[in-house]
Amino acid sequence: PLVLGIETSCDETGFALVRGRELLADVTASSMDEHARFGGIVPEVASRAHLEAFVPTLDAALDAAGCRLEDVDAVAVTAGPGLVGSLTVGLAAAKSLALALDRPLYGVNHVIGHIAVDELVHGAFPDHFVGLVVSGGHTSLLEVRDIATDVVELGQTLDDAAGEAFDKVGRLLGLPYPGGPHVDRLSQQGDRTAIRFPRGLSRGKDAVRHPYDFSFSGLKTAVARYVEGVEDAGEELPAADVAASFSEAVADVLVSKTLAACQRTGTRTVVIGGGFSANSRLRELAAERGAVHGIEVRIPPIRYCTDNGAMIAALGSAMLRSGVAPSAAGIPADSGMPLTTVRA
């Protein structure tokens, strides 16, 4: 069956067409340029941009796939989490499409979509695996037996998400918003052993009580103190070393806890997804340490890490395969949708 995936949870308007695990088209429009000068996403601006981009982007995806709207067998749309205004634009339009075409509607979890998209790239998932979702709003470890129906959250961040911490450190280093990719680029010219920054919840009682939880706010504060100290001393900030050492601390704790979760759950495969999985040091360290421990590490190519329609179509397609019933006609946008709710 042909699944249309629609993503509008934040600033990207994404459409994709997927048949089984085959991606036929994936087209994304972004309003990030309109938000950049505000140093953050402006919800009303994002909602309006979705409204404007919706039909042209849908048309572009249908064109690219060489199919017509009537060929679509099911509609999958992000029901949450995300900005309520942005979600509402996508959901309202998706409901109208499903109604007009008389096709089933699946309101799906955006964050689970970040993992699901990997099936389009690396093929069917194994029966049991660990998922690590790292994005602008989430940092969670998942135990997955069926991506469409059976997702258990092992742990999550107690404060900032990984991407959020990068964006804040980007601001500290005077880099443009969103800082994540800029900090990543700068870190590649630095010495990652130059400064020893803390690994949150990794030692002593904290590690015992929170084996699969994360905390990045202490790390962010440590970076801020370091930057202040250098400025107070009137010295020049070794920005690349700070970026590299900070990136190392984040990647180290993410990979350590993920591999520990594999050991504890007896799984041999890890799937990493979400905007932050574009991070070069995370990708490198996960591959390196996964190989040492005999764990297969799957991370989608960078264009499927950030928000897109393919992730939503992939999850909708997985639901059809698992025989999941469609969503009810009245489902609302759920800005705080929990990770364990895969379908609204």
User: Which residues make up each annotated binding site for Fe cation?
Assistant: 110, 114, 307
For the segment 59-88, give every residue that binds ligand ATP (CB under 6 A).
81-82
100's tokens: 């007009």
Window of 59-67, 151-159, 218-226, 306-314 that interacts with Mg ion by CB under 5 A: 306-314
> Residues forming the annotated binding site for substrate?
133-137, 167, 180, 184, 279
Binding to Mg ion by CB under 5 A, coded x per residue (else -) over 252-291, reads ----------------------------------------
Crossing angle between the packed helical segments 162-172 and 217-232, to the nearest 10 degrees: 10
Task: Between 106 and 276, name the residue whose CB sits nearer to ligand ATP.
Answer: 276
For the segment 112-151, give every residue that binds Fe ion (CB under 5 A).
135
- Report how many helices (DSSP H) and strands (DSSP E) the chain contains, helices first: 12, 10
Window of 53-61, 107-115, 195-203, 331-339 that interacts with ligand ATP by CB under 6 A: 107-115
DSSP H or E run through 30: strand 22-30
Distance set, CA 83 to CA 9, 167, 227 (Å): 6, 18, 33
Using CA atoms, how far apart are residues 70 and 183, in angstroms rounded to an integer?
Answer: 44
Phi, psi of 205 (to 5 degrees): -60, -40
- 47 makes contact with ligand ATP (CB under 6 A): no
Beta-bridge partner residues of 193: none
Task: Between 135 and 317, name the residue whose CB sits nearer to Fe ion.
Answer: 135
- Residue of 168, 307, 308, 319 that binds Mg ion (CB under 5 A): 307
Kindly tell me the burial class for residue 292, based on how many C-beta atoms sit within 10 Å of its own C-beta (0-12, 13-18, 19 or more). exposed
Instruction: Kindly state the smallest distance separating residue 173's Cβ from Fe ion, in Å.
Output: 24
- Residue of 10, 87, 253, 272 that binds Mg ion (CB under 5 A): 10
The count of other CB atoms within 10 Å of the CB of residue 71 is 14
Distance set, CA 136 to CA 71, 72, 114, 162 (Å): 34, 31, 12, 7
Question: What residues line the site for ligand ATP (CB under 6 A)?
Answer: 9-10, 81-82, 110-111, 114, 135-138, 163-164, 166-167, 178, 180-181, 184, 274-276, 278-279, 306-307
Question: What residues line the site for Fe ion (CB under 5 A)?
Answer: 135, 307
